[in-house]
Structure 1
Amino acid sequence: MKKLLIIGASLLQLPAIKKAKELGYYVAVIDYDPNAIGIKYADEYYNVSTIDIDGVVKTAEEFKPDGIMTLATDMPMRSIAAACEKLGLSGITMDTAIKSTDKGEMIKAFNKHNVEHPWFYIAENNKALNEIIDRITYPCIMKPTDNSGSRGVVLLHNKAELEKEYEYSHTSSRSGAVIIEEYLTGPEVSVEVIVYKGVPHVLQITDKLTTGAPHFVEMGHSQPSQLPSDVKNQIIDLASRAVLAVGIENGPAHVEMIVTEKWS
């Protein structure tokens, strides 16, 4: 029987756990919460944090899975990359995991590979912020480089707001670094992609519903997108180039973007 290690056992990973069992896999799950809802559906449980890279690698060495995955969460990707590299399993590299989960490293990769992106500044700390603060134009967006779920995201209209809100974004960042970037306006979409042998295949484009300014918390999705076909073709092209820029050669990707007037 093939063995699958799923990183995370929360409500978000529950569909993957159930589907894996339905397909006949022997499933182990990792989660720091011993009461996580998905544990009872798995064959084995390991009490390890999903972002504990060494802990996940040691668990993988013990369980010896044929594959490792997660669902609907991005920070465990570094743990998965390390474990896959250690066991010689198919997966993304650690370099790709970092570029996919750190917004600063991601936008640098876009810049290197000529993938369109907003202007940006990265401030690792207060000193770095003070060095760039007079070059920033408004309105702009500030957010942690290494968090998700709209945590620490804020729209800024002037220097006073930036100085006031910096602590909010800074403390929401695991590393303390924030990225300040151009504020783009227009419909927001997400793009679901599967990359196989270096070729991206777009599965769906969805129209996103958020709370809007100032924090842009995600509320829901509508699919398929109602945008015109020519705009969707441009979205497919940009999303495909973006996932290749961060180094994804095999596996799924979730891309988010704003469709500005330049496109629509």
Structure 2
Amino acid sequence: MKRKLMIIGAGREQVPAIINARKLGYETVVTDINKHAPGFAYADYAEVVSTADFDGNLKVAKQYQIDGIMTLGSEVAVPIVAKIARMLGLPGMSEDTALKATNKNAMRAAFKAFAVPSPVSEPVNTLAEAEKFANQYGYPLVIKPSNSSGQRGVEKVVDWPSLCQCFDEAIKYSTDGHAIVETFYAGPEINVTAAVVTGQVTILSLSNRITAASPHFGIAVEHVFPPDISAEQAGAVEAASVLAIRAIGLENGIAYPQVVVGEDGPQVIEIAARIPGGFMREVGLYRSGIDMIDVAIQLAMGCAFSLADHAAIEPVPALSVRFMTELDYPVTDRPVVEIEGIDDAKSANGILSVDIHAEAGRMLPSLHSSAARFGAIIAKGKDRDEARNNSRLAMSKINIGFVDA
């Protein structure tokens, strides 16, 4: 009998994991709250259960007698995966590591214990506590939910009125009633992907995380490698990332540190212990040649392997992942009528993929979080400038028409 891998989540970003797991010879047991989730079409067994439902997912795991469990792109599922793995005696990260990787206050406490360079921060659950922090450290500062993702409720705060407004938003998106407030640290944002196998950290990619201008704080509109930093700065980013991985106690898995390189060197803003969404799997793949999805699957199944076993493609010299948002097509009050030029974009110079999930008859989403990005173009080039130019030119070929006003 084939061994069974359970994957929590069956959205678009989980589909590659379901496909890859079956290619590796495993049966897949997949859960999602959406009975029409696209991943269900590729799974051996599908159950309608929310990614946030521990009891429901545990019941499914026992029912199918799974041999391994994982998630990707879903922050809320990480602690659930860890707890189920512990209860069933399966490979996986500890629940302590899962907490430190998903709760930003627990994460920062771990960073402090390991002297990981990061902004000064405090947990807060009242506006008075946030005000006290602001009075001590001044503006600007950043406030976030303690345990959310996708940039929901994350804001840069410049004065007292905006603190009042943003505090309520941060608390709204937190599930534990706490927010985190931190000093703002300026500089280029660097995304890091890494594979951790029996404690050995291998950096897969460093890339610039280019974000939208205010009021869309922190939402990435493009990923680019190689990053626009010096070799010395890149080395310091890697060292800080490894220290952050050690701080949360990750021994096996995929790590996703986010780092800012400022006047005082790199500071780690946060770290995830899962395969990130937003096409960061592709960034790691095209930079290193290694598919982190295959690595995560084999780790979840307790297999011994070498990273070289999962070298899937030849790396490219430079890459641009350019997201499509309302900033490119600023009409969000009328439905889409047609989308033209996709084939022209796909055939443009250096294009690796064009992914669009806008649909005729629906309106484009307002850019309130990363989930509002409705497409992405991935382009390669001989250097970062050529890669960025190729993705920009491909996007210019795509025309979205709207219902007349």
TM-score by length of 2: 0.62
SS of structure 2 residue aligned to 1:249: coil
Equivalent pair of 1:120/1:182 in contact (CA under 8 Å):
yes
1:163 aligns with 2:164: yes
Matches within 5 A, 1:56-75: 56-75=57-76
Q: What is the SS of the residue equivalent to 2:11?
A: coil
Change (3 A) 1:19 1:35: same
Question: 1:23 offset after TM fit, Å?
Answer: 2.0
Is residue 104 from structure 1 mapped to residue 117 from structure 2 by the alignment? no
Structure 1 contact 51–78 (Cα < 8 Å) conserved: no
1:191 aligns with 2:160: no
**TM superposition shift of 1:132:** 4.5
Task: Give the letter aligned to residue 50 of structure 2.
Answer: S
Could you tell me how far apart the structure 1 residues matched to 2:208 and 2:67 are? 35
What's the offset of the Cα at 1:201? 1.4
How many angstroms apart in 1 are the aligned matches of 2:114 and 2:265? Answer: 20
Offset from partner CA, 1:151-193 (integer Å, 9 cap, x none): 1011111222211321121212222211110111111111111
The answer to whether 1:5 aligns with 2:20 is no
How many angstroms apart in 1 are the aligned matches of 2:122 and 2:164? Answer: 15
Would you say 1:200 and 2:185 are equivalent positions?
no
Amino acid at match of 1:55: G
Aligned-pair CA distance for 1:197: 1.4
**Deviations for 1:106-162, whole angstroms, at most 9, x for unmatched residues?**
001000111111011211234544554533411111111110111101111122221
Decide which moves more: 55-64 or 147-156: 55-64
- Residue of structure 2 equivalent to 1:123: 124
User: How many Å separate the matches in 2 of 1:139 and 1:212?
Assistant: 16
> Aligned equivalents of 1:161 and 1:169: distance in 2?
12
Is the Cα–Cα contact under 8 Å of residues 137 and 183 in structure 2 kept in the other structure?
no
User: TM-score, normalized by length of structure 1?
Assistant: 0.94
Matched, 1:259 2:249: no
Structure 2 Cα separation of the partners of residues 42 and 181 of structure 1: 42
Do the aligned partners of residues 213 and 50 (structure 1) sit closer, same or farther apart at CA in structure 2, a change above 3 Å counting? same
- Aligned pair partner of 2:248 in 246, 249, 254: 246
Q: Which has the larger displacement, 246-255 or 193-202?
A: 193-202
1:79 aligned partner: 80
1:225 corresponds to 2:227: yes
Superposed displacement of residue 223, structure 1: 2.3
Amino acid paired to 2:26: Y
Taking the aligned partners of 1:60 and 1:126, their CA distance within structure 2 comes to 41
SS for the counterpart of 1:118 is coil
Q: Which blocks of at least 5 consecutive residues in structure 1 are unaligned?
A: none
Kept in 2, the 8 Å contact 1:154–1:213? The answer is: no
Cα offset, 1:80, TM superposition: 0.3
Q: CA deviation at 1:232?
A: 0.9
Q: Tell me which residue corresponds to 1:28.
A: 29
Q: Which runs of 4+ in 1 moved over 3 A?
A: 125-134
Q: Determine if contact 1:8/1:50 at 8 Å carries over to the other structure.
A: yes
**Which letter maps to 1:190?**
N
d(CA) in 2 for partners of 1:61, 1:219: 41
- Greater mean alpha carbon deviation, residues 192-201 or residues 128-137: 128-137
Equivalence for 2:49: 48
Using the TM superposition, give the Cα deviation of residue 40 of structure 1 relative to its aligned residue in structure 2, in angstroms.
0.9
Do the aligned residues in 1 keep the contact of 2:133 with 2:181 (CA within 8 Å)? no
SS in 2 for 1:12: helix
Q: Distance in 1 between matches of 2:213 and 2:115?
A: 29
CA RMSD of aligned residues (A): 1.6
Cα contact 2:134–2:141 (8 A) shared by 1: no
Alignment partner, residue 237 of structure 2: 235
Query: Retained in 2: the 8 A contact 1:57–1:86?
Result: no
- Distance in 1 between residues matched to 2:165 and 2:39, nearest whole Å: 40
The match for 2:92 is 91
**Aligned residue type for 1:125:** T
Check whether the contact 1:121–1:181 (CA below 8 A) recurs between aligned residues.
yes
Q: Distance in 1 between matches of 2:106 and 2:43?
A: 35
Give secondary structure in 2 for the equivalent of 1:38.
Answer: helix
Give the distance between the partners of 2:62 and 2:174, measured in 1 at CA: 30
Give the distance between the partners of 1:237 and 1:136, measured in 2 at CA.
Answer: 27
Cα distance in 1 between the residues matched to 2:11 and 2:182: 32
Q: Does the 8 A contact of 2:30 with 2:40 survive in 1?
A: yes
Report the Cα offset of residue 20 of structure 1.
1.2
Q: Any stretches of 5+ residues in structure 2 without a counterpart?
A: 267-405
Shift of 1:234: 0.6
Secondary structure in structure 1 of the residue aligned to 2:242:
helix
